[in-house]
Amino acid sequence: MSRKENNENNQNNEQLNNTSPDTHDNGEKVNEKELLRKYDRESNTRSNIGKWAWVVTFLAIYLTLFHLYTGYYGTLQSQIQGAVHVGTALGLIYLLYPAKKGLHDRGIPWYDVILAFTAIFVGYYKIIFFDQILNARIHGYETLDVLVAILGVLLLLEATRRAVGLPIVIVAGFVILYALYGNIIPTQMMSHRGFSFERVMTDLWYRENAIFGIPVQVSSRFIFLFLLFGVILVHSGIGKFFNDLAFALTGRFTGGTAKAAVSASAMQGMVSGSSIANTVSSGSFTIPMMKRARFRPEFAAAAEASASTGGQLMPPIMGAAAFIMIEYTNTDYTTIMLAALIPAMLYFAGIFMGAHYEAKKQGIFGAPKEMLPNTWQLLKKKGYMLLPLIAIVSTLFMGFTPQRAALMGILVAFGVSLISKETRMSVRKIFFVLEQGARVALPVIAAVATAGIIAGVVGMTGLGGKVAAGIIALSNDIQLLALIFTMIACIILGMGLPTTANYVVTATIAAPALINGFGVEVLAAHLFVFYFGIVADITPPVCLAAYAGSGIAKSNPFKSGLTAVKLAIAAFIIPYIFVYNPILVQAGDHSIIMLLLAVVTALLGMMGVSSSVMGYFQRKCYVWERFVLIAAGLMLITPNIYIDLAGILMIALVWYLQTRRPDDKQSYEPVSA
């Protein structure tokens, strides 16, 4: 690059801290709340609660304190624990979420107050008449029991529609119809005789394997506490420390602003559990910085969205669905963390490579060293803010439950916030955090409870086995085709279902087909469906995380989604890698050398694929070079040393030819990315 271009780039970089993090380049303020309401159904809460504010505050703080109490002293009997968890959450949803999207600025209508207290009653009915309901399973339910069950299911579906969205309600409604009228699917393989309306409703509401089954139990024991932990990190200032640390570590390298944005969003995304919310909150700061560094608006939006989405893949927190994976795989959380670690590192390595190649192509250097925080000074001054994450990881590795680890993280995070006057929370702020902890959990509780309907019907009707048999038959016993069909199903479901609910559905229906039909390792199969449920947030046409980032970047939403797919291309490849090479999820017998070899070849494969889709390697790529690079990258997926060597040689050939080529601008017109 010429001295003139270098000076221009430095001038652009010097503007990095001259603009407020919540403004665009033109000074227009980013309205985070409006963006979230537009793209994230979970954030569409009422802004005008009026006289009912004290009821909302009381119920929310009560729900949070209940989970802290049971987390420390031990959870209650599963049905009672679930009844408090779901019943209180449903009441809060009717008070906080309007029936229609545009009514958030109006007060709470009388009918929502009635619905709220009715929802609380039907939830707590299981506690009030606990012994009676247990006996009714043997002797039959009374009319009031049946009526409460019907109300409970209907109120849950409506609350989920408000807080999460319509798609998951449609799926749940479909499976209820299937339970009632098995012949709605005119296929001999899928049909069953159907159950009575009373049987379906009471089984869904009162049995342990449906609404109040594994997903709700995991939510009430683990997920709520980890979501509260994320809220404390944000409101105690520890989240800002993550941002500063990310810029200190990566800001000086080529394309440093993009790499720092990816690092910061990954650290925050793993505890927030929401791709869209994290894209908006982090993106209001990182996206304008990337644009000022001369990254294209579409790229800035895509980088933030892909990193925020991938945060749910990163241990130790992994959003929320990973906790349900404990129960479905009968595996301890430490094993799941270790299994997810290498794939997550490969995912973010792919995004880093994409950001690097884009920066090289555009001639974007890193920020000047004097403008960035000093890593050692930052760690010396605020390194103690890493203690909450260290506490969680060490507690898990010591053999304690995720529940105890979450409690330890909450206590340490609160203690850390007291050290500095800047981060110290007042009594008022503590109550605010307790309320926010419950608010953040409401959509997750509604989603997992509704996913429990789907799991319950699968158990009642045997639908899961029939779908699994269908996948095997459709793929003609070819594993690759079965993986592709499963991937498509997970992405389609993920476009309308939250990650947690999507995982519950796919783990119940699709994962068994891969495990039982093709002998895929259990963790590899579950991580496969987990990955593709998550990347739906950045997969066009319904890529809501990319659309939210586009709202901040003022870019073309669809182009932002396509760019996000390019950046996160690793997420579409890595699941196939660890299915065919389960050593990457540390399954089976293997040596350290074999593991390192698998990681190295996977990284080289990511390099080939990433450089191909971004259109830049050592130079801008010709069309044939891009084909060679992507072919080489895909060859490195296969656990075969000869194919791996061929892929490495192909990448080396392109590297050699490009390094021998004169400067791009003087020699040829390359194909644009």
pLDDT digits (tens, 9 = 90+) for 305-321: 888 888 888 887 776 67
- Would the pTM count as exceeding 0.95? no
Taking CB atoms within 8 Å and a gap of at least 24, the contacts of 328-335 are: 328/214, 328/507, 328/508, 328/511, 328/526, 329/522, 329/523, 329/526, 331/522, 331/523, 333/396, 333/401, 333/402, 333/405, 334/396, 334/397, 334/399, 335/523
More confident residue, 2 or 262: 262
pLDDT at 40: 64
Q: How far, in Å, CA of 169 to CA of 91, rounded? A: 18
Query: Considering all CA atoms of the chain, what is the largest pairwise distance in Å, rounded to the nearest integer?
Result: 87
Residue 190: count of CB within 10 angstroms of its CB: 18
Buried b / exposed e over 651-673, threshold 16 CB at 10 Å, is: beebbeebeeeeeeeeeeebeeb
20: pLDDT confidence band, cut at 50, 70 and 90? Answer: very low
> What is the per-residue pLDDT across 505-524, written as a single tens digit (0 to 9) for each?
888 888 888 888 888 888 89
Percent of the chain scoring above 70 in pLDDT: 88
Nearest to 570 by CA among 599, 605, 618, 544: 605
Taking Cα atoms as reference points, which of 297, 366, 354 lies closest to residue 615?
Answer: 354
Span 87-94, mean pLDDT?
96
Phi, psi (deg, nearest 5) at residue 620 = -65, 140
Task: Read off the pLDDT of residues 40-65 as tens digits, 9 standing for 90 and up.
Answer: 666 678 888 888 999 999 999 999 99
Structure-model confidence comparison of residues 664 and 227, the more confident one: 227
CA angle 596, 600, 606 (to 5 degrees): 145
Return the pLDDT at 646: 94
Which pLDDT band, with edges at 50, 70 and 90, does 373 fall under?
confident
Closest CA to 270 of 325, 309, 228, 328: 309
Burial label, 73 (beta-carbon count in 10 A; 0-12, 13-18, 19+): exposed
What's the pLDDT tens digit per position in 322-335?
A: 788 888 888 888 88
The whole-angstrom separation of Cα 323 and Cα 441 is 14
One-character DSSP codes across 166-182: HHHHHHHHHHHHHHH-G
Whether the per-residue pLDDT at 152 is higher than 90: the answer is yes
CA distance 12 to 178: 60
In angstroms, the CA 269 to CA 317 distance is 9
- Beta-bridge partners for 620: 616
CA angle 10, 16, 21 (to 5 degrees): 170
pLDDT of residue 277 exceeding 80, the answer is: no
Residues 366-378, mean pLDDT to the nearest whole number? 78
pLDDT confidence band for 14 (50 / 70 / 90):
very low
Higher pLDDT, 466 or 419: 419
Of 55, 58, 37, which is closest to residue 46 (Cα–Cα)? 37
296 contacts: CB under 8 Å, gap ≥ 6: 362, 555
**Mean pLDDT, the chain, integer:** 83
Give the model's pLDDT for residue 6: 44
Q: Tell me: the pLDDT tens digits for 374-428? A: 888 888 888 888 898 889 888 888 878 888 888 999 999 999 888 888 888 889 9
Distance, CA of 517 to CA of 521 (rounded, Å): 11
Q: Omega of the bond prior to 541 within 30 degrees of 0, cis?
A: yes
Work out the pLDDT band at 204, boundaries 50, 70, 90. Answer: very high
- Quote the DSSP letter at residue 620: B
